[in-house]
Amino acid sequence: MATEVKLPELGDGIESGDVLEIFVSVGDVISKGQDIVEMETDKATVPVPSSVGGKVTKILVNEGDSLAIGGVILEVEAAAEAAAPEAPAAAPKPEAKPEPKAEPKAETPAPAAPDETPAAAPKPAPPQPQAPVPAQPAAAPVATTAPGEVIPAGPAIRRFAREVGVDLASVQGSGDSGRITRDDVLAVVRTANQAARSGGSAPATTSPSAASSPAPATSKTSSAPGTASSDDFGSVHVERMSKIRKTIGRQMHASWSTVPRVTNFDDADITDLERLRQSSKDDYAAQGLKLTTMPFLIKAVATALRHHPSINAVIDEENEQIIYKDYVNVGIAVDTDRGLVVPVMQNTDQRGIPEIARGLAEMAGKVRGGQFAVSDLRGGTFTISNLGAIGGQYSTPIVNVPEVAILLVGRSRKMPVVMPDDSIKPRLMMPLSLSYDHRLVDGGTAARFLNDVIGYLEAPSRLLLAL
């Protein structure tokens, strides 16, 4: 009797998901807990394990389908039932091993394998010219994963393999316990490219008419994602909008259409902070942490938020209330290949610089590796976006509703600054852009908050002593 495997709960408030990839096929024997599909929800991409083991008899979804929680993914036949009909079929296998009959006048003799010795014939067949055997490409994948076996690769690696056209079943993992890494996938791609280049000089069989026909007008190979297509003006690529991108679009539209936004721009002199960071980075490196300016900025923002409750609040329009949060949870916008994701660091104001640095590294790793949960994205009271990691100085970030403010940090650069004694010195300046909801946050409140953040950054000893 077939058992239905349904889409389980994926998190609070999640009602459906899109099927990104199906990991199994009809006829595969799977085990309980084995990943069967990868689902994309509003923000997270998660693998879904099977609730039962057995033989897959029917798959009821396709890649790209939207499936509600509780919807049926596939049907599985219990392992005992699946194995029962196979036993009698295996019994007659060893009973008959017919001896090959010598057929000296066979019409088309099958070629012998390299280590096979052909049976002696009464008289040798006349020599015939042999067609050259086409060489197998060096990159021909050799299956390393048995059918039904779980492929040891995370969601991010699976997506990357799909994008570059690599079958993970043919990849030998070099990570812990044979886990497939990005480098393993790249090695397969390099091998395939080398094989293609080495065989590129071989003449192809082309008809004269085809050889004289001009190729389609595709001047360069496009790196754009999606399926190749064309419009009235040339070649294009078409990609289905992902659930994450649709969610980002709805969130940005809600912010743009409801929040009267104002942005304040300023600079923080972080020359002394940079000197402190440089003197401490080796100590952090010994613990496996890369010390950047971000932990200091996060600590400065979290400390300032405690003194400016209007910045650490939300507007409840439905009940016409302002809710001031007594906790400080800072969200950090992370740029990923699937869109902007904002994981939240809980109780940020209660953490020291080392704990923030460690938490920041863990958050970024989980998000970029697709290993985060929806709960990691909830509960934020303020957001920081780091444009400087990519490049650029100032911007007008959009408030991450229902929050009422967001701070964007640009790339720090040395600038000539007039000092209190009227001398001009080169100073390392960090550009800051604070956008806020003018319904709740007045310009003076925003300026005082930003001045506090700058004050902590310019006097790092105050920052380190802040509790």
Single-letter code of the amino acid located at 315: I
The beta-strand segments (E) located in 114-210 are none
Strands 16-22 and 66-68: antiparallel
Q: Confirm if 367 and 341 have CB atoms less than 8 A apart.
A: yes
Using DSSP's 3-state secondary structure scheme, residue 354 falls into helix
- Give the span between the Cα atoms of 295 and 384, in whole angstroms: 11
Catalytic positions, please?
A: 438
No. of helices (H) and no. of strands (E), the chain? 11, 20
- Comparing C-alpha atoms, which of 294, 304, 260, 254 is closest to residue 274? 294
What H or E segment, with its residue span, contains residue 18?
strand 16-22
φ, ψ for residue 358, nearest 5 deg: -70, -45
What's the distance, Cα to Cα, between the start and end of the chain in Å? 62
DSSP element (H, E) containing 45: strand 45-49
Q: Could you count the other beta carbons within 10 Å of the beta carbon of residue 163?
A: 11
In angstroms, the CA 222 to CA 230 distance is 13
Determine contact, residues 273/296, Cβ cutoff 8 Å: yes
Q: Could you tell me which residues are beta bridge partners of residue 230?
A: 235
CB 390 within 8 A of CB 335: yes
- CA-wise closest residue to 242 among 36, 43, 378, 23: 43
- Do 195 and 137 meet the contact criterion of CB atoms below 8 Å apart? yes
